[in-house]
Structure formats: C-alpha cells, structure tokens
C-alpha cells in the first residue's frame, strides 16, 4: 500500500517467499523531488518484475531514480542492484563496513574463510566446522553477488533525503536503519521483523576482529526504543506499529536465552559446540552457523556481565561460571 504524507511518498515493494521470512520488502521513497530505493530484494525475476511494476504503476521512470541505499549487505537486500546500475549509473550508499563485502574483495573473502576456520576450531566444532569452512570456500570461488558501481560509505548520523542514518549493528556488522524524524518512520532492515526474531550473526570486521554481535544487537534495539516512531518498515513481513512492545518481547527472549546458556555452563558444559548440541539438538547440525552464532553471542553477553569466564585448553575455549 502506498503511503503519502506531506510531499513524501513510500512505495513498498513486497515479494512473497516460502521461506520463514515470508516476504522480501524494499521501498521506493519519493521525497523533496528525489527518488531513493531502500534495499533491493534478492536477485530473482520476481523481485526485478516487482520493482519494474512498482515504477511503472506509479509513473516513475528509471531516470527518476537518484540513489540506492542498502540497510546491510546480505544477499536478500542487494539482489537487483546490478540489474538497475547496469545501464543506469547511480550511487549506492551503504555502511562503511559494507564496502568490502559488496565488492566481494578477494583479500577480505580469504581472511574471512581463515577467520571462520580458526573460530570454529576454537569453539570445539570439529568436522562440522571444517564442513562449514568448505562451504565458504566454495561460495568465495563462485564469486557471485559482487556489486558493480560506486559505493558511498555511510556513517552513523549522516543525513540525506530527510533521513538520518542510524548505525544498528548486530544482525550484521554493517547494519543501518534510516530514520525520518519528521514523520517518525524507521526503515529498519533486519533489525526488527514483526513475525520472527532476527539473528545476530557472527562476522569478522574489515580488520579481522570478531564483532560482539549479540551485545551490539541488544544495544541497537535499545537505541531504537529511544526514537519516537509511528511506523517501522521492516525488511521482511508486515510493517510494525507497536515497536516498543516488539522490542521488549525480543529483548526478553534474548535475556531468557542468555540465562539458559548460563545454566548449561553452570551444569558443567564448558565447550561452546557442546552447548550448541545440548540446547539445539538436531538444529546444531542443520543450522550450524546460526546455532554457533547464538551460542557465542550469549557467551559474549555473559562475559560482559562478568557471569562467566573462559580459559583455553589446547585450541579450544572452555567456559565456566564465576
């Protein structure tokens, strides 16, 4: 549904998916005579057609499009960028940590593989960790999803087209939300999804450091609690109106999970991979990177609270309660 308010119009582009995400959402925003695309779906005919249809139905021409902004560099938010910029040279804006990911920088991909190899070894993940590293090598060698064109780096607090860039790290190390203070709208990417929790995934930053993703995700949710909002445009699913209730529900869920991990560590399970198996059973194998991201995120959180400590035995970290 198109939303118009005092010279500003949002044209949501909503593409259904059978995945648990339900929809890929991206947005055309027309404001003060300029047209911005916020996020770009997956690289599929469905997303491309939905974009072209939204443009045509609303009598927007490709030459009217001034820029593309991505909330983060995940593949389901950047899909049709190259199709647009192929013969339409416009700037792409993204968080400064997105640049080497969007450009598929070879050195970065190489040390990302090494990072995960060392990380999974240090968490005691054995063969499953090695298998995951093989998958990463395969993905890097295919070199898909490289974004062509100029990318302009964004920093927290930057403003343009009446929107403020709000750094909201955690789901990814390059996540931003876009806030329109006057209208109290937030384009939230994957920071907030109405029907499901958003994961805080593990990634190295450009210097090879592991980002404390769950701690960051909690801080980002708390940051957004301080913003007055009437509507949150999410990267997936329905728009969110009761954002305070939703954020509070998500935070409670995280705190319960952190507490559960603390109980397991207190019961004597010290190795992160064993915590993953104990808590997630079969999902530990089927959803390995997500499970380990959650375990390590919770352990980071407990370390920050001084509730657990860790020591290295051989190559593997073991956690204990204080």
Chain residues that interact with Zn ion, rule: CB under 5 A: 74, 190
- CB proximity list for 212: less than 8 A, separation 6 or greater: 297, 300, 304
Pick 71 or 132: Cβ nearer Zn ion: 71
**CA–centroid distance for 5 within its chain:** 28
| Beta carbon of residue 71, minimum distance to Zn ion (angstroms, whole number) | 8
Output helix, strand, coil percentages for the chain, rounded to the nearest 5. 40, 25, 35
**Token pair of 306 as six digits:** 């001084």
Pick 41 or 124: Cβ nearer Zn ion: 41
| Beta carbon of residue 160, minimum distance to Zn ion (angstroms, whole number) | 22
Pick 192 or 277: Cβ nearer Zn ion: 192
Pick 85 or 213: Cβ nearer Zn ion: 213
Pick 74 or 112: Cβ nearer Zn ion: 74
Pick 190 or 203: Cβ nearer Zn ion: 190
> What single DSSP character describes residue 97?
G
* Number of other CB atoms surrounding residue 114 within 10 Å: 14
| Beta carbon of residue 256, minimum distance to Zn ion (angstroms, whole number) | 23
CA–CA dist 95, 81 (Å, integer): 16
| Beta carbon of residue 4, minimum distance to Zn ion (angstroms, whole number) | 28
Contact 322, 155 (CB under 8 A): no
| Beta carbon of residue 74, minimum distance to Zn ion (angstroms, whole number) | 3
C-alpha pair distances (Å), 135 with each of 76, 138, 192: 19, 5, 28
**CA nearest to 145, candidates 78, 198, 206, 227:** 78
CA–CA dist 166, 220 (Å, integer): 9
| Angle, CA 266 vertex, CA 265 and CA 271 arms, to 5° | 25
**Token pair of 80 as six digits:** 């049709």
| Beta carbon of residue 75, minimum distance to Zn ion (angstroms, whole number) | 8
Pick 71 or 270: Cβ nearer Zn ion: 71
In the numeric block, the tokens 């980071």 are attached to 300
- Please give the residue whose beta carbon sits closest to Zn ion in the complex: 74
| Beta carbon of residue 42, minimum distance to Zn ion (angstroms, whole number) | 11
């Amino acid at each position: 549904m198109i939303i118009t308010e005092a010279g500003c119009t949002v044209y949501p582009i909503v593409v259904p998916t059978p995945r648990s995400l339900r929809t890929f959402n991206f947005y055309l925003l027309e404001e003060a005579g300029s047209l911005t695309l916020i996020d770009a779906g997956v690289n599929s005919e469905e997303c491309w057609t939905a974009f072209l249809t939204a443009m045509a139905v609303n009598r927007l021409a490709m030459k009217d499009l001034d820029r593309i902004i991505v909330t983060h560099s995940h593949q389901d938010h950047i899909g049709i960028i190259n199709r647009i910029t192929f013969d339409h040279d416009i700037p792409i804006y993204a968080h400064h940590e997105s640049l080497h990911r969007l450009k598929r920088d070879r050195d970065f991909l190489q040390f990302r593989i090494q990072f995960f190899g060392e990380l999974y070894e240090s968490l005691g993940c054995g063969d499953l960790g090695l298998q995951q590293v093989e998958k990463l090598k395969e993905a890097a060698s295919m070199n898909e999803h490289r974004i062509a064109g100029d990318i302009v780096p964004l920093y927290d607090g930057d403003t343009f087209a009446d929107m403020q860039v709000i750094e909201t790290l955690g789901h990814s190390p390059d996540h931003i939300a876009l806030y329109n203070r006057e209208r109290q709208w937030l384009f939230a990417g994957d920071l907030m999804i109405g029907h499901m929790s958003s994961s805080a995934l593990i990634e190295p930053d450009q210097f090879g450091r592991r980002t404390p993703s769950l701690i960051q995700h909690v801080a980002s949710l708390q940051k957004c609690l301080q913003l007055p909002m009437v509507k949150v445009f999410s990267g997936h699913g329905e728009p969110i109106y009761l954002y305070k209730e939703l954020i509070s529900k998500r935070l409670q869920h995280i705190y319960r999970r952190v507490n559960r991990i603390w109980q397991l560590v207190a019961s004597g399970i010290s190795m992160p991979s064993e915590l993953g198996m104990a808590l997630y059973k079969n999902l530990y194998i089927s959803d390995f990177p997500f499970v380990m991201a959650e375990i390590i995120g919770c352990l980071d959180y407990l370390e920050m609270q001084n509730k657990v400590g860790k020591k290295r035995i051989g190559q593997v970290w073991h956690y204990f309660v204080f």
